[in-house]
Structure formats: structure tokens, C-alpha cells
Amino acid sequence: MIALLKTIREAIVNWWSEFTLQTKLLAAATLVVSLVMSGLTFWAVNTIQQDARLNDTRFGRDLGLLLAANVAPLIADHNLTEVAQFSQRFYSSTSSVRYMLYADETGKIYFGIPFWEPEVETSLAIERRIELPEDYAANAEKPMVRQHRSPDGEVTDVFVPITVEGKYLGVLAIGINPNPAAVISTNFTRDVTIAVFISIWVMVILGGVINALTITKPIKELLVGVKQIAAGYFKQRIDLPLGGELGELILNFNEMAERLERYEEQNIEELTAEKAKLETLVSTIADGAVLIDNSMQVILVNPTARRIFGWEVVDVVGENVLHHLPSTVEMEITRPLYEMAAGECESAEFRILLNQPIKRTIRILLTTVVNQVNQQRESIKGIAITVQDITREVELNEAKNQFISNVSHELRTPLSAIKYVIETLHDYGEELSTQERKEFLGTVNHETDRLTRLVNDVLDLSKLESGRSYNFDGVDLAQAIEQTVRTYQLNARDKAIELIQEVAPGLPLVMGNYDLLLQVLANLVGNALKFTKAGGKVALRAYQIVPKSNSTDHHIPQVRVEISDTGIGIAPEDQEAIFDRFFRVENRVHTLEGTGLGLSIVRNIMEKHHSKMHLVSEVGIGTTFWFDLAVFDEQASHVKK
């Protein structure tokens, strides 16, 4: 039973949900009106019935008192014949009296009119009593009134006590018929109410049918058509033979759909081309670009962002971007993304270190994409995520900071020595001997030279790394080598080192800058003399080489320059860092001093010449540095780098 009721309830709910809002409102209004009218009608009927009942009660009570007063002396004299005659006359002259019953003081009925009424006949044929309250005889001063229903309506029963000189002789029961006018009015009102109620619902049903045929169906057709248009199906048409405003609305809808269809056909190629241009533009941006909506779903992503986040084999479009970002990125930008989607902020910037897919440092810029609704309000349509790979920038900043730190340290050492010597000469100059003063001044001179070399090296390195242009032309290496040998010949002789020059005859000119190449040779020869002991050798060689047939240098002839020494050599663990700034072999072997920038300058100069420095070294045996230079081509002379 419960399951059946539940099924019926669900069916009613489903049936009700299929109605339109207009139909539901109409039904609700009709129900309210019908209930109000029915309530008013039944209130009126009830009022009429109460008034009629009150009138019947008053009439019956007065009539009973009148009759009781007339028959009381006769009953006291036991003249029942006269009582019967008087009662018969009274009954015949009064149409409102339904019956009259006489009962003695014990309630036993002994006479009744009319005899043909079932109530009277039964009461006289069978010994019956009128059921009255036990204390009725003691308090028999006022009539008692009750009602009971009969096929003709509600009958008012009036019980009048019969007393003579204060003595209770019995009771007279009179039945009063209902007022015919009140009954007719009540029945008429009830019939009118039923008729009105039925008429209202008939009108509602007819209105619903008319509404469904003339309004609801066209509106449903229009709703379906609008949904089809919104979905991009512009071939939708509505064919309903209606006139008036609905007909005009349907006609305008069909014209709108036709225009949209023509517009789509005319502009689809142009829109496709513009979309392709936009996607191409985004794909060629050097920075990573990701566009998401307010629910964090990816709308657009370019190849750079795919490469940075490792999305090459993952289709993230349509997915939640937070589910595919590296954990470090997700932790940083999740909260700002939701705050921007809620309109709490407009932009944010982060610098994050990534370890996957490769180690790199990125900068992420978050910017809201807004739509100008009006002059006072903007709506957020999405968030643009710009990803910049700043690994090189970070490395350069670290290198710059390290360079500044190293320069500061290197400058502080000679400056501290110079300051110490000057303070000593200032404070104790008169107490020092001539020899001591010369030694102190020699120290100052030595540290000043060292400071000068450091500053010059820093300036040279700064010029090389600043992107300054140099004139490249044909350079005679034999002349540069000879000039270098002459410069260091005296120094080599003082250290008892043999300085050897081996230049192949007929050596062609090379493409380069004479001053820069002279600086390279000076640095390499100076280092070789510095780390070669007395009795050793330092050799400068230059000879032409021809690339092998499988070389990738397009068979361009080159000249190789070698600087060899028989010095202390360079340990294998130092060979990779030998060209770094401020790296000095003497840091490990504790020998001669230097700025630590010479080989770094040499490497930068070689890079300007599109060449590389090479070395072969063995500790205790010696070291050989070499590099290759392209042979000068007269047709490409005066090239600037």
C-alpha cells in the first residue's frame, strides 16, 4: 500500500512538473478563487441555517409555552378528551408543528398527535418514555430545546414542562418543522455554489486547452528554435499558421535565423583564418602562454609552455590546469588563481625553481582577462598565465655577483698591502734605514703594478663581454709572434728559460684582430714563463693545417698556433676550470701571483674569432695551449664582429 501511494505521488509530481509556469500559476489562481468562493458560499449557507435554527427554536419555545399554558388546567383535571380536542385543533391550525407528545411526570407518553406519524404511532403502540435529565422535574421552569435530522430537514424538538400551581404534571414535547424558506434558500445557495465551482473549472480547462493550442505550443517551438540557434544550428525554421503578435514573432525569428545562416556562410572562412593567425601568433611567442577560464580549465596553451611544463605528450586543453602543473608551481599559484577568479586581485608574479622535466628557473605572470560590460563594471572571463624561462638570466646574475665579489676580493689584497706599507712609512719613516725604505717602496710599486694589471684585465674582460665591435682583417701571425718573443725575451733570459720561435715559412694571413691576438699570445707566453722553472723551454709555433674531408668546416684552410712549455703542468681536475674567472693554478700550488683573469680573457678573444682554446698538460712535464684561426679571404676583408 505504501509503495502504491509512493508511485502515485511520484506520478503526480512528474505530471505537475511537465506544466509550464504559466499553467501552474493559472491553476493556482483558479484553485484560490474557487476555494474563496466556496468558502464564502458555505459561510453564507451556515449563517442562514444558524438563523433559521434560531428562529425555529424561538418559535417552538413560544408555541410550546402557549400550548402548555392552555392544556395544563385540563391535564390537572384529568380531562384528556378536552386536551385531545384542543391539541387537534391547535395542530390543524399550525402548519409548523410536526408532532405533539404528552408524557406524565415519569416521562411515560400517554397521548400524541398526529396518530399517522411514525413517531407518534410508535410511541403510542409501544410503551415509551421521553428521556429527560434526572433533575428536569426539579428544575422544570424553562423549556428544553434539541434538534434532530429528518428526511425533510432538521426538526427542532421543544420540551415544555406542564405545571399547575407549582406542581409538575409532566412534559409536552412539540416537533417544529424547519422553515421552508430557509431550506429553499439553503438548497439554492448550495446549488449555485456547485454550479459556480464547476463553471470555473470548466473555464480553466477550456482556457488551458486554448492556451496550449494558441500560446504554449508556439512558445515551445520558439524555445526549441532559440536553443538550436544558440547551439549554432542556423537552419532552424518555425512553420506555424498563426497571426497576430505571435505570428509576427515567429516571422521575425525565421528572418533572424536566415540572416545568421547567411552571415555564417560569408564569414566562416574569415573567422577560421583569424583564428589560425591568432593561434600561430601565440605559438610563436618566445614565452610560454596558457589561457584558462574561471573554473581553471585550460582553453589555450602554446608550444613553449608545453615544453617548459613537459606537456608534449599530454593534451591539457579542457582539463584543470592545477592537475597537470608541477607540484612546486601548483603550491605557489593555486591560491592566487582562485583569488583572481573571484576578482580579489588582478595580477601576480612568481619566481619558481623547477626540477622537472629539467632543472630551470621560471617567472610566472598571472593576469586577469576582463570583459568591459559597461563603464562602471567589468566581468572576469579568464586568467592568462605567462611563463618565462629566466634560467640564463639567473645564471648571469649569479655570475655577475660572483665576479663583483671576486674583483672586490682581488682589489682588497693589494690595496691592503699598499695601505700597510704607507702607514708604516708615515709612522716610522725616520726610524727606518735607507735599505728598508727602498724595500717598502718596492713592495708598494709591486702591489701597484699588480693592482694595475688587475684593473686592466677587468677592463679588457668587460670590453670583450660588452658586445663591442672589433675590426677583423688579415693578420700576419709571424709578426705578432716575433713581437711577443721580443717583449718577453729579456724576462726569459732573466729566468734562464729558453724562448723558442717556430713559424712555418710562407704562412698566410689569418682573419683576426691584431691587438687582440697579440694580447692572447702575451697572456699565454707570460703564463708559460711564470710556471716554468729555470733551464726550461717555452716554444711558440705556427703552421697551416688543412681540414679533413669529413670535416664540417667546409674545407676552409686554417693556421694553428701552439704555445708549449716544460713547466709544472696543470692537474686534470684543474683543466676544466682553468678558463674561469679568477681561477689560478697558484691557488693550489702556492707559487706565483696573478689576477686569474688572463685565460678568461683569452677564451673570450678566441670566441670573437670563432675559435676555441685547447690544452694538453701533464703535471711535472709541461703544458701546450693551441688554437686555430681561419686563413684570411680578401673578398671578405674588413668584417666586423
pLDDT in tens, 152-188: 667 888 888 888 887 888 888 888 887 666 666 667 7
Residues 363 and 411 in one domain: no
Q: Distance (Å, rounded) from C-alpha 143 to C-alpha 162?
A: 10
Q: 379 with 277, same domain? A: no
Residue environment code for 202-229, b if the CB has 16+ CB neighbours within 10 A, otherwise e? eebeeebeebeeeebebeebbeebeeeb
Q: What is the pLDDT of residue 637?
A: 56
More confident residue, 64 or 543: 543
pLDDT category, 539, cuts 50, 70, 90?
Answer: very high
Structure confidence at residue 641 as a pLDDT band (50, 70, 90):
very low
In three-state secondary structure terms, 357 is coil
Of 84 and 11, which is predicted with more confidence? 84
- Residue 135 pLDDT level (bands cut at 50, 70, 90): low
458-510 tens-digit pLDDT? 666 666 666 666 778 888 888 889 888 888 888 888 889 999 999 899 888 98
Is 197 in the same domain as 241? no
Say how far apart CA 41 and CA 193 lie, in whole Å.
6
Looking at residue 639, what is its pLDDT? 45
Per-residue pLDDT, averaged over 626-632, amounts to: 88
Q: Which of 462, 487, 507 is the last residue of a domain?
A: 462
Pair (214, 243) in one structural domain: no
According to the 3-state scheme, what is the secondary structure of 87-148? HHHHHHHCCCEEEEEEECCCCEEEEEECCCCHHHHHHHHCCCECCCCCCCCCCCCCCEEEEE
Per-residue pLDDT band for 207 (boundaries 50, 70, 90) equals: low
Domain membership of residue 610 as a residue range? 469-640
DSSP string, 338-355: HHHHTTS-SEEEEEEEE-
The residue length of the chain stands at: 641
CATH number for the domain spanning 323: value is 3.30.450.20
Residue 68: pLDDT band by 50, 70, 90 thresholds?
confident
6 and 125 in a common domain: yes
Decide if pLDDT at 123 tops 60: no
Q: Tell me, yes or no, whether 125 and 103 share the same domain.
A: yes
More confident residue, 621 or 166: 621
Q: Which residue has the higher pLDDT, 409 or 492?
A: 492
CATH code for position 512: 3.30.565.10
pLDDT over 60 (residue 10) = yes
Residues 179 and 253 in one domain: no
Which range (248-257, 339-348, 349-358, 477-486) has the least confidence?
Answer: 248-257
Task: Dig out the grid coordinates for 180 from the structure.
Answer: 421552508
pLDDT at 621 over 50: yes
The DSSP line for 616-638 is: EEETTTEEEEEEEEEBP-GGG-S
Looking at the structure of the chain, the number of domains it has is 5
pLDDT over 80 (residue 113): yes
Position 374 pLDDT exceeds 60:
no
Range with the lowest mean pLDDT among 211-215, 313-317, 382-386, 602-606?
A: 211-215
Confidence (pLDDT) at 638: 47
Contact assessment for residue 130 and residue 107, using Cβ atoms and an 8 Å cutoff = yes
Tell whether the model's pLDDT for residue 242 goes beyond 60: yes
Q: Are residues 50 and 97 in the same domain?
A: yes
- Place 640 in a pLDDT band, splitting at 50, 70 and 90: very low
Question: What pLDDT was estimated at residue 403?
Answer: 64
One domain, residues 299 and 375: yes
91 and 141 fall within a common domain: yes
Highest mean pLDDT pick, 181-195, 347-361, 422-436: 347-361
The enclosing H or E element of 407 equals helix 391-428
- For residue 263, pLDDT beyond 50: yes
Buried residues in 61-94 as b, exposed as e (16+ CB within 10 A): bebbbebbeebbebbeeeeeeebbeebeebbeee
Question: Best-predicted range by mean pLDDT among 129-133, 228-232, 474-478, 604-608?
Answer: 474-478
Of the three residues 443, 462, 481, the one that is the final residue of a domain is 462
Residue range 70-95: mean pLDDT, rounded? 83
pLDDT score at 438 = 80
Give the model's confidence band at 624: pLDDT under 50 very low, under 70 low, under 90 confident, else very high: very high
Query: Higher model confidence: residue 460 or residue 424?
Result: 424
406 and 380 within one domain: no
425 and 491 inside one domain: no
pLDDT band at 555 (very low <50, low <70, confident <90, very high): low
Q: What is the pLDDT of residue 128?
A: 61
pLDDT at residue number 590: 41
User: How many percent of the chain have pLDDT more than 70?
Assistant: 72
Kindly write down the DSSP assignment for every residue of 295-320, as one continuous string.
T-BEEEE-HHHHHHHT-TT---TTSB
Return mean pLDDT, the chain. Answer: 76
What pLDDT, in 10s, does the model give residues 560-591? 999 999 988 888 877 676 766 555 554 444 44
CATH number for the domain including 422? 1.10.287.130
Q: At which residue does the C-alpha cell 451556515 appear?
A: 46
406 band by pLDDT with thresholds 50, 70 and 90: low
Residue 268: C-alpha distances to residues 230, 261, 272, 449, 467 (Å): 16, 10, 6, 77, 50
